[in-house]
Structure 1
Amino acid sequence: MDYDVLLIGSGFGALTAAALLTKRGLKVCVLEQAKYPGGCATSYKRKGYWFETGATTLVGLDKHMPLRYLLNELDLQIPMRNLEPPMQVHLPNGEVLTRYGNLGAWIAEAERVFGKYKQREFWEHCYRVSQQVWQTSLEQRSFPFSNVKDLLKAATRVRPAQLSLLPAAFRTMHDVLLKYDLLQNHLFVDFVNEQLLITAQNHAAEVNELFGATALCYTLYSNYYVDGGLINLVNPVVDYITSNGGVVKYGQQVKAVDSLRKGYKVTTAKDSYFSRFVISGIPLNNTQELFTDKSIKQKLQLYLLPSDKLNGAFTMSLVLDGMVAPDVLHQQVHVPDGLPIIGSKSIFISFSHPADKLRAKAGEVLASVSTHVPHPEKLYIQQKEQVETGILCALERAGILDQASIKYTQSATPGAWIFWTNRAYGAVGGYPQYKSIKPWQMKDARLDHKGAYVCGDTVYPGQGIVGVCLSGIIAAEKLWQDHY
């Protein structure tokens, strides 16, 4: 065998698994089709500027959170700037809402904007649930269960507080809003729905309470900015892998994975590699296409979501000359009438930090803009200039962007995402949460119960850097549990 473990893609979930398995002494090789590592959680250089690929916010470094666990395990220090407050939201009525990181300050702000009725009770409840979810996620790393060992291991780690979370898997955030009599507060419901769309890729009627409460409370945990872009979070993990005997190969688009009597053959456009184990870090839809084993294809078919259940993104990268970044770097702008063509009702924009001298020149600011595109396979965007104009005008009306300051702009449709990443349909952000899919029904890390595994944003637990980090932790742990 060439390697103990081959990993397909260098998204943050795959890099997490690769680093943890490298630490345990396995010989790993990461195969990445692009020239930069990190997948949708990295940066790329163009025109002398470092733009973010997709993700811009960084959480997960507090106690009981997966990214903190990973950095502690690898003994890595990442230079970061704490963001307080993490975010502002421009509501349909023109009100600007500041999402403070302190729970008390945030509740006071929510009461100021939405009224005092039941806001404190709602947010205290959501925060309690989110704390329990984060702690449980690392305690129960054999979840979702797919063999007897998983169950036995889970039994040794069970706590009463974990069991108290179970009913929340059967309730949606719509149910929670109903419980606190907040459904009649339409401004608040709109706010909740657009916030959930950022983090859970769906609205309150579909997102279960476990994911929804945690998603709504992500600004109540430490939020960070990484100078030079998120690639400076990714590169230290890559360096750990390569300095401890692992290999990361770029320009290696995987074409097929064949199951052998002992191990796997992974064929790229350039070469073939052999390994005892394989971990796919790419979406389930793409993973199914690569494996030639019919039993794996059939098993994965049960978990695949079609395009009409997914979201793509329309993204813009801007260079702004002579404009000062707002004090709050992350902003969400509601667009109640919807954007042209795509109909999206909110825009998310992140600015580079004014003290970050690595991403842009002095006197210039970078901005990353994104908005959702439903059913990306069907919604082929030909007049993207109309979407661009709609976005820029909405941002200017909100007072956070001066179009006259734009020095350079580039935009990307789901079609561009297919070209850049090969992700099926150009879908990004992972699989949305749906009430019909409980957490234990999400795809777990095992593909064939022999030596093939999967991680990333389309398996448990889902979206975001912190989510895919946890999926990588689980994949590494289950591989080790199964074979060592």
Structure 2
Amino acid sequence: MQYDVVVIGSGFGALSAAALLCRRGLSVCILEQAKYPGGCATTYKRKGYWFETGATTLVGLDENMPLRYLLDETGIQLPNLRKLEVPMQVWLSNGEIITRYPDLEQWIAEAERVFGKPGQRAFWEHCYKISQQVWRVSLQQQSFPFSNYKDLLQAAASFRPAQLQLIPGAFRTMENVLRRFDLLDNRLFVDFVNEQLLITAQNYLAEVNELFGATALCYTLYGNYYLDGGLINLVKPVLDYCLANGATIKYGHEVTRIIPGNGNYTTITAKGEFTSRFVLSGVPLNNTQNLFENPTIKKKLQQYILTSEKLNGAFTMSLVLKRKMELPVLHHQLHVPRGLPLIGSKSIFISFSHPSDALRAPEGEQLASISTHIAHPQNMIIYDKQIIEKAILARLEEAGLVLPEDIISYQSATPGAWLFWTGRAYGAVGGYPQYKHIKPWQMKDARLDHKGAYVCGDTVYPGQGIVGVCLSGIIAFRKLMQDHYRA
């Protein structure tokens, strides 16, 4: 069958683009190698429990944010949303617990309590202002990054003088920002910022630019939500919208090759061939590059590819617990000053299922998802997972968050398991990290060959997180329509 668009993968960026394409009446076929949709933003079932695959919290429903835009454009409704009164707590190396309140004033007071008053108010007011501007401009400038003259014309038509205020932030790192507010000598605060940036921008303050860094640090100041049943209930409504508007999804179809020719693309899997006018890759650039035999496309993509030593993998654990108390905060980051054995990670992130969520675990039980970063995943072969498991559980017990007697069962996964489950190169997760030598306009834009092949997801602009990949899908849709239809 001939389709207008074949979409490779059903990650949330790809689904965002697919929904918008379906809304415009294009016929869409989604090819997914797994048996569940959603990629790294979904939920999978194991032994009767529903565990999160990767992401555990939902951000992006506020005004001027990509997910809000997607839902408003399509009319998609999300069921079972719970807005979190407190998005997160961070357990610092000195034993202090800092609560990331969603109200700016309350958060500043908490930051001043823990880190001291000097510089905190000015720093957080500055970061919050930058984050608001970034989200507003991101939806205004959907042709960014520019890669042809139409992008420039669209940018000129969408230009607002206030957008110029953001340009200097692309040349400053978060290290520069901390220095500006005399905060670089505050060791406790520097460690806090570094570990917070690692779970949002995938890198540290010396590398993350001000635009991405300020936005990443302020995500707890926007609406944070929990979805009963897990993030599969974010994915399903978007996929259902696509299917109701003529799309097809085929599971167990791992794409091995894309062949351009005669104004069409032939997408090949072990189970068949699919012909389309356009192709949209929702898998990482490293994987996307390997799908094309055309040396010109491979060469053009090579300048954007990051290899394993520049990426992060993850060590993850999924726990089933006896629920004995209702935790007021579901998400926690715990610093590990001496680092975890074998992998050296300096923090652990744990998310608990909501105590009233009966869809993921039966009454009287609760789930917990744990993750920690592993640098250069290709180079890290873990032969004894128990050493890391023991250290993680000991840190959680020390904090009183997970007690040994409450553990019913657990399982863990290394980058090798991520590579096996997802097919992502090196088992890398979290998207491409931010690096100071790569400015936002130097990141890969949505066009692959300037003919009919496009890309979105967490390795292209703007990258990380559900909210970022949603925006990447919006941009890919916009550029396809701009190139071939009346946008």
- TM-score class, shorter-chain normalisation, is over 0.9
CA deviations over 1:226-284 (Å, ceiling 9, x no partner): 00000000000110001111111101010100011211000001100100000000000
Q: Percent identical across equivalent pairs?
A: 71
Q: What is aligned with 1:44?
A: 44
Letter in 2 for 1:55: A
Letter in 2 for 1:51: F
| CA distance in 2 between partners of 1:45 and 1:356 (Å) | 15
Count of aligned pairs between the two proteins: 484
Q: What is aligned with 1:288?
A: 289
SS of the residue aligned with 2:199? Answer: helix
| CA distance in 1 between partners of 2:360 and 2:191 (Å) | 34
Q: What is aligned with 1:218?
A: 219
1:416 counterpart = 2:417: yes
Q: What is aligned with 1:137?
A: 138
Letter in 2 for 1:72: D
Q: What is aligned with 1:358?
A: 359
1:204 counterpart = 2:211: no
| CA distance in 2 between partners of 1:401 and 1:179 (Å) | 39
| CA distance in 2 between partners of 1:403 and 1:124 (Å) | 41
| CA distance in 2 between partners of 1:398 and 1:337 (Å) | 16
CA deviations over 1:337-364 (Å, ceiling 9, x no partner): 0001000000000000011110001010
**Runs of 4+ deviating beyond 3 Å:** none
Q: What is aligned with 1:445?
A: 446
Q: What is aligned with 2:166?
A: 165
CA deviations over 1:198-244 (Å, ceiling 9, x no partner): 00000000000000000000000000000000000000011000111
CA deviations over 1:7-46 (Å, ceiling 9, x no partner): 0000000001111000000000000000000000000000
| CA distance in 2 between partners of 1:260 and 1:421 (Å) | 29
TM alignment of 1:80-479, pairs within 5 A: 80-479=81-480
Query: Does the aligned pair in 2 maintain the 1:324–1:365 contact within 8 Å?
Result: no
| CA distance in 2 between partners of 1:183 and 1:245 (Å) | 54
| CA distance in 2 between partners of 1:173 and 1:159 (Å) | 25
Query: Does the aligned pair in 2 maintain the 1:64–1:138 contact within 8 Å?
Result: yes
TM alignment of 1:49-68, pairs within 5 A: 49-68=49-68
| CA distance in 2 between partners of 1:300 and 1:468 (Å) | 19
| CA distance in 2 between partners of 1:44 and 1:75 (Å) | 26
Q: What is aligned with 2:2?
A: 2
Letter in 2 for 1:89: V
Letter in 2 for 1:459: V
| CA distance in 1 between partners of 2:448 and 2:323 (Å) | 52
| CA distance in 2 between partners of 1:230 and 1:393 (Å) | 28
Deviation of 1:324 after TM superposition, in Å, equals 2.5
Query: Does the aligned pair in 2 maintain the 1:259–1:292 contact within 8 Å?
Result: no
SS of the residue aligned with 1:50? Answer: strand
Deviation of 1:76 after TM superposition, in Å, equals 1.3
Deviation of 1:325 after TM superposition, in Å, equals 4.3
CA 1:376–1:325 in 2, change beyond 3 Å: closer, same or farther? farther
Deviation of 1:2 after TM superposition, in Å, equals 1.2
CA 1:251–1:43 in 2, change beyond 3 Å: closer, same or farther? same
| CA distance in 2 between partners of 1:203 and 1:164 (Å) | 24
Deviation of 1:323 after TM superposition, in Å, equals 3.2
Deviation of 1:322 after TM superposition, in Å, equals 3.5
Query: Does the aligned pair in 2 maintain the 1:325–1:351 contact within 8 Å?
Result: no
| CA distance in 2 between partners of 1:2 and 1:315 (Å) | 40
CA deviations over 1:362-407 (Å, ceiling 9, x no partner): 0101000000000000011111110111111111111211121111
Deviation of 1:321 after TM superposition, in Å, equals 1.3
Q: What is aligned with 1:35?
A: 35
Alignment TM-score, normalising by the size of structure 1: 0.99
CA 1:255–1:177 in 2, change beyond 3 Å: closer, same or farther? same
Q: Which runs of 5+ in 2 are unaligned?
A: none
Alignment TM-score, normalising by the size of structure 2: 0.99
What RMSD in Å do the two structures reach over aligned CA positions?
0.6
SS of the residue aligned with 1:300? Answer: helix
